[in-house]
A and B are shown apart, each in its own frame.
Chain A
């Protein structure tokens, strides 16, 4: 089936997560959070949130013990760079992990 039924003459989308597609499959390496090193987790209350603030894709929630949403994370690694506690590391994607 083709796209003829789509009545848009120009590209148009409703703002929501993933309107640009499943961008997580662009990733060549994934961020893995070591929660035991996370400052917010260690403090047991909202703190730091540098990873949330700098994530350009908005795939990290502002929560204590937040995980990265790997469906849309493009694997840029900015969260690794900004984490003051070195709690996040990039792990290469392999056929097995994908």
Chain B
């Protein structure tokens, strides 16, 4: 097990400066000026995915279009399976992964919701599928713009969920995701904000194929289908363990779920280790489970996931200029939830302000709620105030985040430890 201290060190050596000004270094690859969607497609290509099945949906479409182009041009030797729905897209990925192929898909919002049944199946079957979720608001009403309600609503399906803050991280995380998924046998959802990242061009370093090959060896499936020795996979498995025809006491449903939980909890170690291995190969790391910006001495921490952390970093600079010791704690992995890392990161803070781009209706933002639960076991828990921001693509400005922090500080100074979520720039 990696100790809490080591994990925190991992976060501390994360590229803080990347939050601001750092430019990607080409190393042995080339720097391309591309969108987040193009970065995801290039990553899947360089991972030599063997089967792609996806259905286009805004804002994910360009991922599918680019992969289709790579397959047509022969740049990527893969089966591109055109399907009539997202449910079928993931069903194809499940089948292909089951017979030993490295598979990739991508979707957004209602497409993700349409996959829902297969999302649970992929996780329960423990298949190392990598899927990009280009975060978009859920309908109704119809809206194609960004928030994170889609992936958050699939939080409990048993996938690893990793949030990206820029296009380089999208590329790097897709490559890392295959290694993580294939190590712990859990599918990985790589989440990035629709339009804000998916359609925004940035310099992205695309490494050489041979370097990616060295980092990511071919996939060896944990379950092989062999016609000479047939198996029923994921057959009806009722409540109690029972002895199979070979005399082995097999897991019942509950034991399989326990193993799944063990794998998700253990995935924390894999996420941190793979990020470190990636750094050794490519000279970039992203903090593993969490990362920080000016957080070492922070008295007030802004907590968020995805591209919103970039606005939060700017807000931190504004607050620092006023003498408020603010910092960002970025949630990179949302599932497994970085409990120990967040406790450690917030140990010195007196206040955490959490910005959620989604809502667990009838409660509060999911990151805020999870953070509060995590801090229950901390002996030095800060006060926690939640904010709801950017739903349905409502623009979020750094100064609004700074205002929200000042408001939370006022409430804190009045003796409050928490409050119902504050809605940023809701004009009702």
Q: Which A residues lie within 8 Å of B124 (CB)? A: 10
Q: In the complex, are the beta carbons of A6 and B245 less than 8 A apart?
A: no
Chain A residues 46 to 81 lying within 8 A of chain B, measured CB to CB, are none
Q: Is the interface of B mostly helix, strand, loop or mixed?
A: loop
Q: Are B249 and A5 in contact (CB under 8 A)?
A: yes
Q: Decide if A15 touches B231 in the complex (CB within 8 Å).
A: yes
B125 and A10 within 8 A (CB): yes
- Identify 4 new A-B residue pairs, CB closer than 8 A, beyond the known A6-B255, A11-B234: A9-B222, A9-B259, A12-B223, A12-B233
Q: Which of A2, A10, A14, A21 contacts B256 (CB 8 A)?
A: A10
Check: B294 CB closer than 8 A to any chain A CB. Answer: no
Interface residues of A in 1-23 (CB under 8 A from B): 1-3, 5-6, 8-16, 18-21
Of B124, B185, B238, B242, most buried by chain A (CB within 10 Å of CB) is B242
Asked if B244 is at the interface (CB within 8 A of a chain A CB), the reply is yes
Partner of B238 from A2, A18, A20 at Cβ < 8 Å: A20
Chain A, Cβ-Cβ closest to B185: A9
Where chain A touches its partner, the secondary structure class is loop
Q: Check if B237 sits within 8 Å of A6, measured CB to CB.
A: no
Spell out B's residues near A (CB within 8 Å). Answer: 124-126, 185, 222-223, 230-238, 241-242, 244-246, 248-252, 255-256, 259, 263
A-B Cβ contacts below 8 A, count: 72
Given known contacts A1-B249, A3-B251, A16-B245, is B126 in contact with A9 (CB within 8 Å)? yes
Contact-residue size bin, chain A (C-beta under 8 Å from the other chain)? 10 to 19
- Leading 8 A-B pairs by shortest Cβ distance: A11-B237, A13-B232, A10-B126, A3-B251, A20-B236, A16-B245, A3-B241, A9-B126
B234:A19 contact, CB within 8 angstroms: no
| 20 A-B pairs in the complex with CB atoms less than 8 angstroms apart | A2-B241, A3-B241, A5-B248, A9-B126, A9-B259, A9-B263, A10-B125, A11-B237, A11-B256, A12-B234, A12-B235, A13-B232, A14-B246, A15-B231, A15-B232, A18-B245, A19-B235, A19-B244, A20-B235, A20-B238
